[in-house]
Amino acid sequence: MIELRADLHIHTCLSPCGDLDMTPKRILKKAKEVGLDLIAITDHNACGNVEVAQSIGEELGIQVMAGMEVTSKEEVHLLGIFGEVQRAKELEEVLHKGLKIQNDPEIFGYQVLVNEKDEVEGFVSPLLISASHLSLEEVLRKVHELGGLCIAAHVDKPSYSIISQLGFIPKALELDAVEVWDISHYLTLLNQGYGLEGFTVVYGSDSHFLHQLGGRYTKIVVEDPSFYELSLALRNQEGRRAWVEGS
C-alpha cells in the first residue's frame, strides 16, 4: 500500500470563474511542485479540458481523473468523478441539453478549451455556471449509472452546498463522500441534525487560481492511483482509506 495526496476539486480555464492561467499544463506543473499525486479536473458542468490534462499528467507521473462540478437545479454543487473520460462526456452531453443561457465573457469570464501547448482551441458557448435541469437525486443517479463517484461539494460553505440549499443531507442520499472546506467548522456541524454523520470526508482545493493548489488535499492509502483504488478508499474497504487530517 502507498499513501498519496489527492485533490479531487480543481477548475481549469474552461470554468468562467477560473483564472485564464489555469491551463492543464500549468495546473499539472504546479501540482507536481506541491506534491500532489492524484487530481481530478472538475470544471462546472463540463469536461472539455480533461483529456489534455490526462496526457500531461501521464508525462509528469500524476494521475488525472475525469470529473466535473455539476450544479443541480436546486443549485447544489456535486462532484462527479469518473474512471473513463467518455463517461464524463456522456454526463456533459446530458447537462448541456438543459443549459439555455449563453455565456457573456465580458460579464462571466471566458470558457476556454486549450491544448497541451496552452494554445486556445476554442470556447464553450453555454454558460457553464448555470444550474442544470437535473435535480440533486437525478444527478446522483446519473453519475452512478455511468459508473462514477458522487461527492457533495464544500458542504460547510454558506452557498451552493447541499446544506445551504436544502438545510440537511437526506438520509436516502447515497453519496460516496462529502467534501469540506474548513474541518473545524465541519466538526461543529456534526451531530447537529444536518445529516453529515457516516460519510467519508475529503478535502478539495476548489482551485480557481494556481496559488491555491496544494493548500487542501485528501490523504489516501491505496495500492495504486487508479479510479478503482480511489473508489475503495472513499468506501474505506479492503484496507484502503481516505481521510483529512484533523477529522
Q: CB atoms < 10 A from the CB of 113, how many?
A: 16
Q: Is the pLDDT of residue 20 over 70?
A: yes
Predicted local distance difference test score (pLDDT) of residue 247: 55
Its pTM stands at 0.94
Q: Which candidate, 161, 208, 165, places its Cα nearest to that of 180?
A: 161
Are 155 and 186 in contact by the 8 Å Cβ rule? The answer is yes
Calculate the alpha carbon distances from 101 to 49, 104, 108, 181, 206 in Å. Answer: 21, 9, 12, 29, 24
Task: Please name each of the domains of the chain with its CATH number.
Answer: 2-243 (3.20.20.140)
Predicted local distance difference test score (pLDDT) of residue 26: 98
Q: What is the pLDDT of residues 94-114, one digit of tens each?
A: 999 999 999 999 999 999 999
Q: How confident is the model at residue 84 (pLDDT cuts 50, 70, 90)?
A: very high
Q: What is the pLDDT of residues 193-247, one digit of tens each?
A: 898 998 999 999 999 999 999 989 999 999 999 999 999 999 999 999 999 975 5
- Mean pLDDT computed over every residue of the chain: 95
Q: What is the pLDDT of residues 119-173, one digit of tens each?
A: 999 999 999 999 999 999 999 999 999 999 999 999 998 899 999 999 999 988 9
Predicted local distance difference test score (pLDDT) of residue 192: 85
